[in-house]
Amino acid sequence: MTIDLNQVDRPNSYIGKTVPRPNARKLVEGRGQYVDDVHLPRTVHVAYLRSPYAHARIKGINTDAAMAIPGVLRVFTGHDLKEVCTPWVATLDHLKGMKSAPQHALAVERAMWVGEPVAAVVAESRAVAEDGAAVLEVDFEPLPVVADMETALDPDTPVLHEELGDNLTFTRTHEAGDVADAFASAAHVVEETFHTGRHTGVCLEPRSILADYNRSENQLTVYSATQAPHMIQSSFAKHLDLPEGKVRVICGDVGGSYGIKVHIYPDEMATAAISRIMGRPVKFIADRLESFTSDIHARDHRVTARMAVDSNGKITALEIDDLTGIGPYSVYPRTSAVEGNQVVNLCGGPYDLANYKATTKVVMQNKAPMCQYRAVGHPIACAVTEGMVDLAAEALDLDPVELRRRNLVPDDAYPYTAASGMKFEGLSHHASLDKLLETMGYDELRREQGDLRGKGVYRGIGIASFIELTNPSPFMYGIGGARISAQDGATVRMDPDGSLVVLSGVTEQGQGTEGMLAQVVAESVGVRIDTVKVITGDTQTTPYGGGTWASRGAGIGGAAAFRAGRALRDNILQVAAAMLQSTPDELDIIDGAVKDRTTGEERMPLAELGRIVYFRGDTLPKDLDREMVATRHYITSDYPFAFTNGIQASLVEVDVETGFVKLLKHWCVEDCGRVINPQLVDEQIRGGIVQGLGGALFEECVYSEEGQLENANMADYLVPMASEMPDMVIGHVETPTQESELGAKGAGEAGTAGAPGAVMNAINDAIRPFGGRVTRMPFTPERILAALGKVPDPDSR
Amino acid sequence: MSENNFAYEVDVTVTVNGERVSRRVDARRHLVDFLRLDVGLTGTHTGCEHGVCGACTVQVNGDVVRGCLMLAAQADGAEIWTIEGLSDNGSLGALQKAFVERNALQCGFCTPGMLITAADLLARENQPSREEIREHISGNYCRCTGYEAIVDAVEMAAGTRSGASQAGGDSE
């Protein structure tokens, strides 16, 4: 049951308030410590030679020239590393029929994508290691390339892993209701094909690892820029044949992650394997080219959709056919089937829909591996669904808002099980829609749009409702056999001066996790926030947990911290009652002092209680528990996931002569349950929106037919920069989850989930007078001009 | 290696954050690597190494410079200021305070470069418009924030943003 947090004026009532992040100041002063800032004695540096071919046999590697360079210490090939590092196969048992092939830290027989690590050169400095890599002679024999996902399953397409029989790694069809009958009896059927372009995270800090194997203790310490330290610990231990207890993962400051840094990467595993062999610290920091060719990519989907509506504007059926190409291997240990699976789970999600059929096909090809990236599957499902809803509205000659009103799941319908099988505890689509329309002044914008059209100015308004999956239970990964914790824990300790230390299994990559934890603990114990120190990112000291992904930091990590804080408070009050000849019920902790609950009179500062407990325990009753530390865990159990909802709107102006899109304004109203820190939540949403806008308008990993990545640098791969981005208005509806006292659901992916669909609908709304539409992301000026009939379609060349 | 023309070493003497620093470095050493590896100033970050992202932004002789596009050897004799020195001497104080208050940073990797770029704008134009701010920082990539909070914070530091909406941005 959710606690009452309405006493916002009480001292220490931090939950629900904007409080500056305690770790922000060190970052603005350049005092953060990212992996590349860590220097250990005897460190050596590794550079990887990566395959220049999308598919090639490795016939031999001549290392003589590299070894002749002064400062080059060792060269390792795939054959060398497989002696100390076992390969992995990324499948999950609950994804029925899923298959993938063993992947090694360094390619052994074949290189399978441009950028796959083939050999490692270890040297005194990164520069010298790169000199060595440059003169390695690898005898590659090019093999046929499978690049196009559309033909990956054709009979005459080569099978990448013969033992698997075909290039299909996973397929699933979900059907509910009678879809065929619904389409047969529909008043209108609309159909369209959507493409979401393959893109990637472009973390400003590239992937980074410093692995330090100490033979004398059989201990591997890994400084890693990761979202999931315990998952890294478990995976490295397993494949390097170490007990889990002998692997410590330390995660300091991380320069952005967004799902990119939650996977096992072969070059990072290789770095740890090399440290295991050399018995000294080995550092690997990816450069930008390596980041583009070896960070996971995501979102490469082609979705064909059909929607049936009756004459009253009720959506009666939705049918989805999804195809996605994930590269040559499923990525370990989360697998690359999850994104397609999410498309099946999430399409149609906001709508009260009886008949739903969706199929995903996940195929292999010779491109960089794809896997989970911020808002996994959501931007695809949302853009497809919302694109179809706008098409249906057009067919019915209804305002798109009116069609949504008639079909969004009613706010009083919960708990609700969707046709997809997803269970929703409580959502607020209609309240969110109402708030959005009011905030943006929808009717006025429509009037303005009409007026401007008469003057040759083409503005468009796009709306996108969405659901977001947060707070995952073991149903996400654990039941499939992955050692990825859905539970998380927190330890809260009071030191002699009355200050608190919080150790948490969730991690900080800039979202404000540590600030959120400090707020939750300060309030749950009853102290000033500046007396709370938060420690995350160390498998040796924090409770075992999953880390930060799937928007679980606040909802799961925060819930655990709240419980731990309350438990410590109970412990403190027990000791205080014994000291003060009172009972815990008569006492309270406010502002770092024990007070009389009724009168508010101060009885004892926590610093005095700490002094007595730690230094004069002899004065306390012998049998009194005096545990100034408490650990609690939290796991969701009533629902597999805590779904959130929201709605976005985009206002754009399209220059119909150049195809350029100007983003004028963006709105989002979302419901993440209890908002712990409004500013942090709003900034998660703003940052997420811009990431979604990037995928919709600019970002694409462009591959040639030979599987070459043609724009692997930041000059050619376009990311959103300040001058093109709009101001964004964020609003909230709060429907707390009843599963935890805190009531928080996740907020980290809502922005990214809805933005591409909203901007797509806005562009199509702007150019509707011309009769064309865009459905292939990114919506480049050329594609928009093609939709306007002014240039040939670049995608039919 | 001796046959590599880029491997010759050169002597470099610069003033970094007000302190004289002399090192012998590879001729190919970039300024950002020099600062990070030879001087130990890790607040300046390496993001793309080809002058696009702005994470390595520092001040050289008063100009905003990409540390990855300048060789250490080219900086011989120069006066260089990095985030560490500009924090110690307080010259970024108003911007830093506004960035923290407005949460205009998340992961913090772009932040030193962003602050130095924003300070450069405020040194030339003490009342910049939002468009001018966006234009001026458009060579500094931030993946986390979506930029709006940064624009707000620069406005706050310039004193052009009203108090009521300072902390939260345009939020309902």
Same structural domain, B77 and B111: no
Provide, as residue numbers in chain A, all residues whose Cβ is less than 8 Å from the Cβ of B92: 28
**CATH number, domain containing residue A496:** 3.30.365.10
Same structural domain, B56 and B125: no
Is any Cβ of chain B less than 8 angstroms from the Cβ of A678? yes
CB neighbour list of residue A162: distance below 8 Å, 6 or more residues apart: none
Same structural domain, B98 and B141: yes
Whole-number CA gyration radius for chain B: 17
- Bridge partner list, A210: A223, A283
Provide, as residue numbers in chain B, all residues whose Cβ is less than 8 Å from the Cβ of A510: 105-108, 144
Shortest alpha-carbon distance between residue A511 and chain B (Å): 6
**Closest partner residue to B108 among A201, A253, A724, by Cβ?**
A253
Same structural domain, A87 and A234: yes
Q: Which domain holds residue B79?
A: 5-86
Q: How many domains does chain A have?
A: 3
Residues A33, A551: Cα–Cα separation, whole Å: 24
A694 within 8 A of A634, measured Cβ to Cβ? no
Same structural domain, B156 and B100: yes
Same structural domain, B158 and B100: yes
Dihedral pair phi/psi, residue A649, rounded to 5°:
-140, 140
Provide, as residue numbers in chain A, all residues whose Cβ is less than 8 Å from the Cβ of B119: none
Count of CB pairs separated by less than 8 Å, A with B: 208
What was the pLDDT predicted at B163? 42
Measure Cα distances from A273 to A76, A106, A177, A648, A766 in Å. Answer: 10, 10, 52, 46, 55
Residues A311, A399: Cα–Cα separation, whole Å: 14
What was the pLDDT predicted at B164? 37
Final residue belonging to a domain, choices A599, A634, A669: A634
Residues A780, A773: Cα–Cα separation, whole Å: 13
Final residue belonging to a domain, choices B47, B64, B86: B86
Measure Cα distances from A8 to A19, A36, A544, A673, A743 in Å. Answer: 13, 42, 32, 17, 16
Shortest alpha-carbon distance between residue A224 and chain B (Å): 15
Q: What is the pLDDT of residues A198-230, one digit of tens each?
A: 999 999 999 999 999 999 999 999 999 999 999
Same structural domain, A336 and A450: yes
Is any Cβ of chain B less than 8 angstroms from the Cβ of A25? yes
Strand order in the sheet with B57-60: B19-26, B9-16, B79-81, B57-60, B63-66
Residues A670, A644: Cα–Cα separation, whole Å: 8
Same structural domain, A427 and A320: yes
Q: Is residue B78 part of a domain?
A: yes
What was the pLDDT predicted at A476? 93
**Closest partner residue to A725 among B47, B53, B147, by Cβ?**
B147
B34 within 8 A of B97, measured Cβ to Cβ? no
Q: Is residue B172 part of a domain?
A: no
Calculated CA dihedral for residues A117, A119, A120, A121, nearest 10 degrees: -130
CB neighbour list of residue B168: distance below 8 Å, 6 or more residues apart: A18, A678, A679, A682
Is any Cβ of chain B less than 8 angstroms from the Cβ of A782? no
Query: Under an 8 A CB cutoff, do A510 and B105 touch?
Result: yes
**Closest partner residue to A679 among B55, B103, B115, by Cβ?**
B103
Same structural domain, B111 and B66: no
- Six-digit token string for A569: 């408070």
Same structural domain, A301 and A446: yes
**Closest partner residue to B172 among A37, A511, A729, by Cβ?**
A729
**Closest partner residue to A723 among B46, B84, B138, by Cβ?**
B138
DSSP-derived secondary structure for A677-713 = -HHHHHHHHHHHHHHHHHHHHT----B-TT--BTT-S
**Closest partner residue to A18 among B41, B133, B168, by Cβ?**
B168
Final residue belonging to a domain, choices B36, B56, B86: B86
Q: Is residue B102 part of a domain?
A: yes
Mutate which of B138, B143, B147 to disrupt the A interface (most A C-beta within 10 Å)?
Answer: B143
Would you say how long chain B is, in residues? 172
Same structural domain, A302 and A395: yes
Q: Is residue B35 part of a domain?
A: yes
- Bridge partner list, A303: A194, A322
Shortest alpha-carbon distance between residue B101 and chain A (Å): 6
Q: Quick check: helix, strand or coil at residue A104?
A: coil
Is any Cβ of chain B less than 8 angstroms from the Cβ of A253? yes
Same structural domain, A421 and A516: no
- Bridge partner list, A587: A596
Final residue belonging to a domain, choices A605, A634, A663: A634
Same structural domain, B82 and B98: no
**Closest partner residue to B84 among A30, A715, A725, by Cβ?**
A30
Is any Cβ of chain B less than 8 angstroms from the Cβ of A691? yes
Q: Is residue A12 part of a domain?
A: no
What was the pLDDT predicted at A10? 73
What was the pLDDT predicted at B6? 52
**Closest partner residue to B87 among A29, A202, A713, by Cβ?**
A29
Same structural domain, B138 and B159: yes
CB neighbour list of residue A727: distance below 8 Å, 6 or more residues apart: A665, A666, B130, B148, B151, B170
Provide, as residue numbers in chain B, all residues whose Cβ is less than 8 Å from the Cβ of A688: 146
What was the pLDDT predicted at A796? 86
Final residue belonging to a domain, choices A634, A667, A694: A634
Q: Is residue B15 part of a domain?
A: yes
Shortest alpha-carbon distance between residue B161 and chain A (Å): 15
Query: Under an 8 A CB cutoff, do A24 and B103 touch?
Result: yes
Strand order in the sheet with A458-470: A458-470, A642-654, A661-671, A728-732
Residue A109, burial from CB neighbour count under 10 angstroms (0-12, 13-18, 19+): exposed
Q: How many domains does chain B have?
A: 2
Q: Is residue A671 part of a domain?
A: yes
Q: Is residue A13 part of a domain?
A: no
Mean pLDDT by 10 residues, chain B (172 residues): 62 98 96 98 97 98 98 98 98 97 98 98 95 98 98 94 48 44
Same structural domain, A468 and A533: no
Mutate which of A18, A19, A26, A27 to disrupt the B interface (most B C-beta within 10 Å)?
Answer: A27
Q: Is residue A514 part of a domain?
A: yes
Provide, as residue numbers in chain A, all residues whose Cβ is less than 8 Å from the Cβ of B35: none
- Six-digit token string for A54: 């999308």
Q: Is residue A48 part of a domain?
A: yes
Q: Are strands A117-123 and A72-77 parallel, antiparallel or unpaired?
A: antiparallel
What was the pLDDT predicted at A4? 63
Same structural domain, A419 and A494: no
Provide, as residue numbers in chain A, all residues whose Cβ is less than 8 Å from the Cβ of B150: 722
Ranges in chain A, pLDDT < 50: none
Same structural domain, B42 and B96: no
Q: Is residue B53 part of a domain?
A: yes
Q: Is residue A678 part of a domain?
A: yes
Task: State the residue for tokens 């629902």.
Answer: A639
**CATH number, domain containing residue B28:** 3.10.20.30
**CATH number, domain containing residue B107:** 1.10.150.120
What was the pLDDT predicted at A9? 63
Residues A724, A720: Cα–Cα separation, whole Å: 7
Same structural domain, A309 and A445: yes
Sign of CA dihedral A454, A457, A458, A460: negative
Q: Which domain holds residue A746?
A: 297-474+638-796
Same structural domain, A351 and A239: no
A374 within 8 A of A258, measured Cβ to Cβ? yes
Q: Is residue A653 part of a domain?
A: yes
Same structural domain, B45 and B75: yes
- Six-digit token string for A718: 């376009």
Same structural domain, A397 and A456: yes
Q: How many CB atoms lie within 10 A of CB A406?
A: 17
Q: Is residue A173 part of a domain?
A: no
Q: Is residue B64 part of a domain?
A: yes
Final residue belonging to a domain, choices B86, B114, B149: B86
Same structural domain, A136 and A57: yes
Query: Under an 8 A CB cutoff, do A127 and B28 touch?
Result: yes
Query: Under an 8 A CB cutoff, do B107 and A730 touch?
Result: no
Q: Which of A174, A189, A190, A250 is nearest to A219 (CA)?
A: A250
Same structural domain, B117 and B136: yes
